[in-house]
């Protein structure tokens, strides 16, 4: 039995909250901006480009699949392939912990570009792909009789909506974490509680891919 639309949308929001709480997605940079300018407005302003960069990274990953799902006869194969891609990238991240060198060349002031590059490098958008494909499958469209143009437009709209909802949830939890550290906890809390989330992040990709694969295979029976 597959996921219901409500459960899939909950997964979109939950993955956004998870991304936002991960310090690797950039909220410490917002704290740094606020402390450097000694203004909470600087912190809030920094959240804008972080959101835009993350949103663009989600769209880059999800939009190609919005075109592929129009190929109705290959829908199950696409879902299985996407699941294997997500799980495989998670395994790769577990084996190779080194960060891409290109990230070090991006200045901290280029928050939008930095957020986009980090989300791509860490496979943040890939985590959304199986959820998005599940939502397309439960959209209630008669894919056997729908015109290709209408089907693609519907899938493109779903891709944009999923990316927006995810990014809003991401910046909400990231912004809340940044505000707590800036206003109450302080940098000492970050230095004492900081831990490497790379392994947890990679493992979560493997789990999402494996779960999606199991659901796709079960639907074939």
**What are the pLDDT digits (tens) for 68-82?**
765 555 677 778 888
Dihedral sign, CA of 98, 99, 104, 108?
Answer: negative
Alpha helix positions (H), the chain: 5-21, 27-37, 40-68, 75-95, 111-121, 124-137, 148-180, 187-193, 198-220
List the structure tokens of 125.
């958008």
Percent of the chain with pLDDT over 70: 75
Question: How many domains, the chain?
Answer: 1
pTM (two decimals)? 0.82
- As a whole number of angstroms, the distance between CA 72 and CA 193 comes to 48
Of the chain, the end-to-end C-alpha distance in Å amounts to 11
Mean per-residue pLDDT, 137-148:
50
The pLDDT of residue 144: 47
The pLDDT of residue 102: 59
Which residue is listed with tokens 């959101």? 51
Domain that holds residue 45: 5-220
- As a whole number, the mean pLDDT across the chain is 79
């Amino acid at each position: 039995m597959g996921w219901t639309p409500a459960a899939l949308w909950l997964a979109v929001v939950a993955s956004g909250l998870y991304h936002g709480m991960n310090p690797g997605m950039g909220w410490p940079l917002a704290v740094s901006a606020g402390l450097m300018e000694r203004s909470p407005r600087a912190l809030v302003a920094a959240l804008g480009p972080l959101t835009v960069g993350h949103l663009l990274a989600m769209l880059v990953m999800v939009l190609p699949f919005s075109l592929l799902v129009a190929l109705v006869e290959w829908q199950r194969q696409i879902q299985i392939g996407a699941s294997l891609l997500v799980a495989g990238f998670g395994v790769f991240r577990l084996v190779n912990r080194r960060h891409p060198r290109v990230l070090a060349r991006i200045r901290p002031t280029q928050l939008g570009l930095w957020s986009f590059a980090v989300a791509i490098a860490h496979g943040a958008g890939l985590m959304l792909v199986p959820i998005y494909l599940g939502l397309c499958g439960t959209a209630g469209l008669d894919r056997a009789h729908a015109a290709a143009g209408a089907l693609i437009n519907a899938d493109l709209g779903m891709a944009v909506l999923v990316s927006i909802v995810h990014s809003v949830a991401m910046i909400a939890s990231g912004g809340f974490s940044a505000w707590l550290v800036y206003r109450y906890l302080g940098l000492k809390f970050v230095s004492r509680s900081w831990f490497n989330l790379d392994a947890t992040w990679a493992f979560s990709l493997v789990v999402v891919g494996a779960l999606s694969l199991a659901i796709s295979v079960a639907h074939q029976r």
